Amino acid sequence: MTTSTMPDTEPVILPRDRHCISRKQIDERCLKVLYRLHRSGYKAYLVGGSVRDMLLGRSPKDFDVATDATPEQIKTLFRNCFIVGRRFRLAHIRFSGNYVVEVATFRRNPSPDELPEDPLERRGFVENVFGSPQEDAHRRDLSINGLFYDIGTFSVIDYVGGLKDLENQRLRVIGDPLVRFTEDPVRMLRALEFSARLGFSLAEEVREAIYMRAPLIAEAAPARIREELLELFRHRVAAPVFSQAQATGLLTYLIPGYEKDPLTASLLQATDSLTTQGAAVEEYRVLAVLYFSDFLKSCEACEGDGELHIADTLKIANRILGQHCQYFHIASGIRHQARELFIGFTRLRRGQGRKGEKRFLRHPLTPLILDFYRLWSEAAGEGEELLQIWESALAKAKSAPASSGRTASEEKPEEQSEGQTEGKSPRRRRPRRRGPRKPAPSPEG
């Protein structure tokens, strides 16, 4: 939104006795920064998610500060201040224990006639045009994310109708959603994310605007989408956001060509529950969850009468995961681990008694494979009996001495065969080893 389209209205101001934010909830290092800015004659506001969360009675994840001091002026106030960001210049006030208070100067969107002629210079210019608190509030994404807490008066300042939306539990975009989503399509995903995180209803005009602007998200930087996708998992809202993204037509542009089927929906739900129980979000598991159904279907389609050879399942896994990883520039190590979950799952599902089982059970990745099998079993509502069998086999193997192992994908064909006789790929004989076995990593036996 440009300054010219910004409504020039008085803010709603809630004085200290009319809101629930207490300074006790604010990190003391952040308070120190706020006070010093204020005593030095600058405006010092808490902004964004922390104000929203405190008003909702939640503990904020972090505290961001905004001020009318420029980055250089902030630097003169704090010895421990570093100006960061080549494009969007911010002040980082660093404390011991790697704690950083991020201080941004109020910004505004410049009007078109202010922009440099060279398109390459525009982005950096646009992101560093300083403005008033009101302008800064209006360039934010959602009304509930545009609230300020002023350390000078202990009041909450609302230029964008965020207080009303918090009260009505409604998710609204600041300004015209069609315009704001065109400016930055990632806001569409953030709207769905916050609606799910807070359990707020999505304003109808926001839903419609997502529907209309969905294709634009394909133009957003893949690195940003990748990070926002991980945020969904961290906040345990992957299942509802993927559902909403599918319903509004966003999903297929968010991850090019992606479609969610019922098994994926259940896997996403099971993953959100797992994170709620305290499991860390691992990107390789996220990948596996997103593409597992696709993998199973492709394997089934290729199977024919006999069991697929592991080498063939590996090819399928590589094809499916490769496209996504290439698009989002995901490191091969992460892709490799996701692939191990697929191949390991195939092995678990075939049951016990295959070749190389001892080595497979002792491999460090096997417990993770079993965790993934458990996740699938919960999501699909099947495979419990086999899960118990493998759980006790793994428990037994834990007490045995360590053994060698390569990863499933590094296995030679005859090692991958798991004793099967009808594998589709040709089997080669491995020459007999003469010396003692060396320890090596492999879950595949």
Q: What positions carry a catalytic annotation? A: 62, 64, 141
For residue 279, the minimal CB distance to ligand ATP (Å) is: 19
Compare residues 52 and 180 and give the one whose CB is closer to Mg ion.
52
Q: Is 49 in the site for ligand ATP (CB under 6 A)?
A: yes
∠ CA 238-368-289, nearest 5°, is 30
Which does residue 51 bind out of ligand ATP, Mg ion, none, counting CB within 5 to 8 angstroms by kind? none
Residue nearest ligand ATP (C-beta atom) = 49
Calpha distance 200→313 (Å, rounded):
42
* Closer CB to ligand ATP, 64 or 294, in the complex: 64
Q: Decide: is 48 part of the binding site for ligand ATP (CB under 6 A).
A: yes
Integer Cα distance of 22 and 39 in angstroms: 20
Place of tokens 């993770």: 368
At closest approach, how far in Å is the CB of 212 from ligand ATP? 18
Pick the stretch among 12-20, 137-145, 289-297, 318-326 that binds ligand ATP (CB under 6 A). 137-145
Stretch of 181-189, 201-209, 342-350, 351-359 contacting ligand ATP, by CB under 6 A: 181-189
Q: Which of 2, 67, 105, 145 binds ligand ATP (CB under 6 A)?
A: 145
Residue 215: closest CA among 251, 261, 258: 251
User: Among Mg ion, ligand ATP, none, what binds residue 184 when CB lies within 5 to 8 Å by partner kind?
Assistant: ligand ATP
Q: By three-state DSSP, how is residue 282 classified? A: coil
184 belongs to the binding site for ligand ATP (CB under 6 A):
yes
Residue 91 makes CB contacts below 8 A (sequence gap 6+) with: 71, 74, 75, 78, 81, 82, 83, 84, 102, 103, 104
Q: Is the dihedral angle over the CA atoms 13, 19, 24, 27 positive or is it negative? A: negative
Q: Which of 376, 364, 298 is nearest to 337 (CA)?
A: 364
Q: How far apart are CA 179 and CA 414, in angstroms?
A: 59
Three-class secondary structure of residue 201 per DSSP = strand
The helix or strand, by DSSP H or E, that contains position 47, with its residue range, turns out to be: strand 44-47
- Selected binder of ligand ATP within 107, 140, 213, 226 (CB under 6 A): 140
The residue behind tokens 């070749």 is 355
Phi and psi at residue 223, in whole multiples of 5°?
-65, -35
From Mg ion, ligand ATP, none, interface partner of 186 (C-beta below 5 to 8 A by class): ligand ATP
Shortest CB 61 distance to Mg ion, Å = 6
Segment near ligand ATP (CB under 6 A), from 29-37, 183-191, 261-269, 310-318?
A: 183-191
Q: How far is the CB of 402 from ligand ATP (least distance, A)?
A: 42
* Cβ-contact 216, 181 below 8 angstroms: yes
- Chain positions 57 to 86 lying near ligand ATP, rule: CB under 6 A, are 61, 64
- Rounded to whole angstroms, the Cα distance separating 359 from 167 reads 58
Of 145 and 346, which has the nearer Cβ to ligand ATP? 145
Burial state string for 9-37 with b = 16 or more CB within 10 A and e = fewer than 16 = eebeebeeeebebeeeebeebbbebbeeb
Pick one of 6, 33, 101, 186: the residue that binds ligand ATP (CB under 6 A): 186
Q: With CB under 6 A, what is the number of residues at the site for ligand ATP?
A: 11
| 187 binding partner (options Mg ion, ligand ATP, none; Cβ < 5 to 8 Å by kind) | ligand ATP
Positions in 396-435 near ligand ATP (CB under 6 A): none
Nearest distance, CB of residue 187 and ligand ATP, angstroms: 5
Cβ nearer to ligand ATP, comparing 60 with 405: 60
| Distance between CA atoms of residues 431 and 259, nearest Å | 46
CB 141, min distance to ligand ATP, A: 4
Q: Which amino acid is at 413?
A: P
Stretch that binds ligand ATP, among 30-38, 152-160, 182-190, 376-384 (CB under 6 A): 182-190
Q: Which is nearer to ligand ATP, 183 or 414 (CB)?
A: 183
Alpha helices by DSSP H, listed for 7-97, are: 28-39, 49-55, 71-77
Measured from the CB atom, the residue of 187 and 363 that comes closer to ligand ATP is 187
| Candidate list 102, 141, 307, 340; residue touching ligand ATP; CB under 6 A | 141
Binding mask 34-53 for Mg ion (x = CB under 5 A): ---------------x----
How far, CA to CA in Å, does 125 sit from each of 120, 226, 320?
A: 9, 26, 40
Question: Which amino acid, one-letter code, is at 302?
Answer: C
Q: Which tokens is 181 given?
A: 């989503």
CB 77 within 8 A of CB 116: no
Q: Residue numbers of the site for Mg ion (CB under 5 A)?
A: 49
Q: Residue numbers of the site for ligand ATP (CB under 6 A)?
A: 48-49, 61, 64, 140-141, 145-146, 184, 186-187
